[in-house]
């Protein structure tokens, strides 16, 4: 039995999936956070809080490495950690630094830091010859305007150190560019109290379907679990509206996407990671969007498990322990699984989601989760604003997405102004 140190977590699906994987693997964990109330405020209704499964819950300033690393080193002789992990993007570099300080398995901290910084990723992958969009890293609005004129509109503006699509915007002219820059300027500190890097990434707008390649890299070798497709809406934002695993792709496109992802992981120097690499399949070939050195979000991990039997949360636990994960596929009775998200169109208060009873009773539904009546609704600008989701499978072939889209069309949120 291993004892793992879990540093922070999301309050969504992965915050439950990782503790479950730890428990089902016969292990235990200690939870380390700077703000316990962040998790207690969002305790799940009707189920046990995942933190109740922790051996210890410790509080320390997880944003201050200078004091955090010596603190964890002092804990190690008494608590005996065997690995370090996190399910929060903002603490992936911290977990890697702690593992290195304690001499535990884990990816090179510099590699994780570069993967978590979109500008560093762009520079390293361009130097390695891995195809991506034309881009520019800008210190301020004037630099951004000059770079945009050189690259040419339309463009994608991105913060270099946020996630879930926050403040990622399509810009079609200088006026839209300035508005997007101002919005980003108004968010100098992320949701975990960390000060953001004050730079802007501009990228050429890529055309074509987007997919993600799900991989596990261990002991210098990368194994591809499969490819997930993605649907996007909410322009000028880029909001993920659904996914299907496995993606229905021509063999040549699938091979090219897999090869691009493996090359990118190698170029970043990542090892000992479960990764989620996003790629655009353009008319000129695959183009790298970003490499995330953690399991996929938006319940893609569950789509994979429903189809293949592979638990990527369990794989994350294994690699954190320095153990090769079991990635053998198992018969599940499904050939594809898909998820669709309920994306709000207006702000207000959720009165109800009509059609929920009908959708919940439909054949093939794997999950239906919806926000409770009375939930405050904001107009969607990122992947953080969903009102719920429906997940369904197909036992015959790649028809899960069509089923989910039909079910999603029957869910009608009623949002009122009060």
Asked if 207-332 and 335-417 have one fold, the answer is yes
CB 296 within 8 A of CB 312: yes
Q: From CA 294, how far away is CA 56, in angstroms rounded?
A: 24
Domain-wise residue ranges, the chain:
3-104, 133-204, 207-332, 335-417
Which pLDDT score is estimated for 341?
96
Gyration radius from the chain CA atoms: 21
Query: Which residues lie closer than 8 Å to 323 by C-beta, 6 or more apart?
Result: none
Candidates 3.30.470.20, 3.10.450.50, 3.40.50.620, 3.30.450.20; CATH matching 207-332: 3.30.470.20
How many CB atoms within 10 Å of residue 32? 28
Peptide bond into 5 cis (omega under 30): no
Task: Tell me phi and psi for residue 255, to 5 degrees.
Answer: -65, -45
349 contacts 247 by C-beta, under 8 angstroms: no
What is the SS3 assignment for 210-223? Answer: EEEEEEEEECCEEE
**What pLDDT is recorded for position 44?**
62
8 Å CB contact between 150 and 215: no
**Could you tell me whether strands 239-245 and 200-204 are parallel, antiparallel, or unpaired per DSSP bridges?**
unpaired
DSSP count for the chain of H helices, then E strands: 13, 19
Cα 49 off chain centre by: 22
What is the full per-residue pLDDT of the chain (418 aa) written as tens digits?
A: 999 999 998 777 788 899 999 999 999 999 999 999 888 876 665 577 888 899 999 999 999 999 999 999 999 999 999 999 999 999 999 999 999 999 999 999 999 999 999 999 999 999 999 999 999 999 999 999 999 999 999 999 999 999 989 999 999 999 999 999 999 999 999 989 999 999 999 999 999 999 999 999 999 999 999 999 999 998 899 999 999 999 999 999 999 999 999 999 999 999 999 999 999 999 999 999 999 999 999 999 999 999 999 999 999 999 999 999 999 999 999 999 999 999 998 899 999 999 999 999 999 999 999 999 999 998 877 888 899 999 999 999 999 999 999 999 999 999 998 6
List b or e across 88-127, with b for residues whose CB sees 16 or more CB atoms inside 10 angstroms.
Answer: bbbbbbbbbbbbbbbebbbbbbebbbbbbbbbbbbebbbe
In angstroms, the CA 138 to CA 150 distance is 13
- Beta-carbon contacts of residue 255 (< 8 Å; ≥ 6 apart): none
* Positive/negative CA dihedral, 341, 342, 348, 349: negative
Give the architecture-level CATH label for domain 133-204.
2-Layer Sandwich (3.30)
Query: Distances from the Cα of 154 to the Cαs of 134, 176, 204, in angstroms?
Result: 12, 10, 7
Q: Say what the pTM is.
A: 0.95
HSE (side-chain half, CA atoms, 13 Å) at 149: 8
| CATH class name, domain 335-417 | alpha beta
* The pLDDT value given to residue 85: 96
What are the phi and psi torsion angles at 300 (to 5°)? -60, -35
CA distance 54 to 23: 10
- Residue 41 pLDDT: 77
Taking every pair of Cα atoms in the chain, the longest distance, rounded to a whole number of angstroms, is 58
Are the CB atoms for 230 and 211 separated by under 8 Å? yes
- List the strands of the sheet with 376-377, edge to edge: 376-377, 348-354, 412-416
Tokens 């991989």 map to which residue? 215
pLDDT score, position 40: 83
Q: What is the CATH number of domain 3-104?
A: 3.40.50.20
d(CA 269, CA 111) in angstroms, rounded, equals 6
């Amino acid at each position: 039995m291993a004892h793992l140190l879990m540093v922070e977590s999301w309050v969504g699906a992965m915050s439950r999936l990782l503790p479950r994987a730890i428990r089902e693997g016969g292990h235990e964990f200690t939870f380390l956070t700077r703000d316990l109330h962040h998790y207690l405020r969002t305790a799940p209704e009707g189920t046990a809080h995942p933190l109740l499964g922790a051996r210890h819950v410790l509080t320390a300033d997880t944003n201050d490495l200078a004091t955090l690393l010596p603190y964890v080193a002092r804990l190690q002789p008494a608590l005996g950690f065997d690995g370090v992990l996190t399910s929060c993007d903002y603490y992936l570099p911290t977990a890697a630094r702690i593992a290195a300080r304690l001499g535990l398995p884990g990816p090179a901290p510099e590699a994780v830091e570069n993967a978590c910084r979109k500008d560093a990723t762009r520079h390293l992958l361009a130097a390695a010859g891995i195809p991506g969009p034309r881009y520019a890293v800008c210190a301020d609005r004037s630099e951004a305007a000059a770079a945009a004129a050189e690259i040419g509109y339309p463009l994608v503006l991105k913060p270099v150190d946020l996630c879930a699509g926050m403040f990622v915007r399509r810009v079609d002219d200088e006026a839209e560019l300035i508005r997007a820059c101002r919005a980003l300027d108004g968010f100098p500190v992320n949701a975990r109290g960390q000060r953001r890097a004050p730079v802007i990434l501009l990228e050429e707008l890529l055309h074509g379907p987007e997919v993600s390649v799900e991989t596990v890299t261990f002991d210098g070798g990368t194994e591809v679990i499969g490819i997930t497709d993605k649907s996007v809406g909410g322009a000028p934002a880029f909001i993920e509206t659904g996914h299907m695993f496995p993606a229905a792709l021509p063999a040549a496109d699938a091979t090219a996407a897999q090869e691009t992802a493996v090359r990118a992981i190698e170029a970043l120097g990542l090892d000992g990671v479960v990764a989620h690499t996003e790629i655009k399949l353009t008319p000129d070939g695959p183009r790298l969007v970003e490499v995330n050195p953690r399991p996929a979000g938006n319940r893609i991990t569950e789509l994979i498990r429903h189809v293949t039997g592979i638990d990527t949360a369990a794989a994350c636990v294994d690699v954190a322990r320095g153990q090769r994960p079991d990635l053998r596929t198992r018969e599940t009775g499904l050939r594809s699984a898909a998820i669709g998200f309920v994306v709000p169109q207006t702000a207000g208060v959720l009165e109800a989601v009509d059609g929920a009873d009908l959708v919940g009773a439909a054949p093939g539904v794997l999950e239906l989760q919806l926000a409770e009546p009375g939930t405050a609704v904001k107009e969607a600008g990122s992947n953080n604003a969903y009102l719920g989701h429906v997940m369904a499978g197909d036992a015959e072939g790649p028809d899960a997405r069509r089923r989910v889209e039909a079910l999603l069309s029957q869910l009608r949120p009623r949002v009122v102004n009060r």
